[in-house]
Chain A
Amino acid sequence: DTEVTQTPKHLVMGMTNKKSLKCEQHMGHRAMYWYKQKAKKPPELMFVYSYEKLSINESVPSRFSPECPNSSLLNLHLHALQPEDSALYLCASSPPGRTNTEAFFGQGTRLTVV
């Protein structure tokens, strides 16, 4: 299995809703990432988990709350989002024990906040 799987593919939510994005990989990768990508822009790093511990939080607003329940799963909990948070949210993972390694990306969740 060489995939990173994200669900759902599309999500429309109101500004008062609570929703979660899910990401799963079974490649034995021990680093997992959340990126945000606006249209015609490169991905921007949000969070990094290394061995299930949050290692990087790029000053992301608290309305985004990451969670790593185990080495295969990564969630992003969303609450009280703003329309400007509409974007493609990408999950990625990378192998353990190797420096400066590539990341493998999922297909993304297209989020629209109304």
Chain B
Amino acid sequence: GNSVTQMEGPVTLSEEAFLTINCTYTATGYPSLFWYVQYPGEGLQLLLKATKADDKGSNKGFEATYRKETTSFHLEKGSVQVSDSAVYFCALASGGGADGLTFGKGTHLIIQP
């Protein structure tokens, strides 16, 4: 079956530090990959996505590249802000139909001023 593995944290960084959150996956076929962000008390927001190998998704300074050879989709940002503090979920969609998303366990990111 499908699975997503990501570092759980919490990850604590200082403002303007470089961020990497690792994500690896196992899936049948050719999945699409996503990063979602969840702020306290809110739903999930799509941060970025990639639908095929070597695609790079980017949004709000965050980037992730779909690496089929290493089955990875690591999230990076060059300079984090306090407002980036949230829980980040790596997820995949596979199977071709409306089967729902498979999520990683989530990484709690804390940015200190």
What residues of chain A have their CB less than 8 Å away from a CB belonging to chain B? 4, 6, 30-31, 33, 35, 40-43, 45, 48, 50, 55-56, 90, 92, 94, 99-108, 110
Q: Give bound CA distance, A108 to B44, whole Å.
A: 9
Give how many B residues have a beta carbon under 8 Å from the other chain's beta carbons: 28
| Among B46, B99, B106, contact of A42 (Cβ-Cβ < 8 Å) | B106
Contact mask for chain B residues 44-63; partner A; CB cutoff 8 A; 1 contact, 0 none:
11100101000000000000
Q: Give bound CA distance, A50 to B49, whole Å.
A: 22
The interface centre, meaning the residue of A4, A33, A92, A102 with most chain B CB atoms within 10 A of its CB, is A102
Determine if B93 is an interface residue (Cβ-Cβ < 8 Å).
yes
Q: Answer whether A42 and B95 are a contact pair too, CB < 8 Å, given A100-B51, A103-B101, A108-B42.
A: no
Chain A interface SS verdict (over half): strand
Contact mask for chain B residues 17-58; partner A; CB cutoff 8 A; 1 contact, 0 none:
000000000000011101010000111111001010000000
**Interface pair B98/A107, CB less than 8 Å apart:** no
The interface centre, meaning the residue of A56, A100, A104 with most chain B CB atoms within 10 A of its CB, is A100
Q: Give bound CA distance, A110 to B103, whole Å.
A: 20
Q: Give bound CA distance, A99 to B30, whole Å.
A: 10
Determine if B105 is an interface residue (Cβ-Cβ < 8 Å).
yes
**Interface pair A102/B42, CB less than 8 Å apart:** no
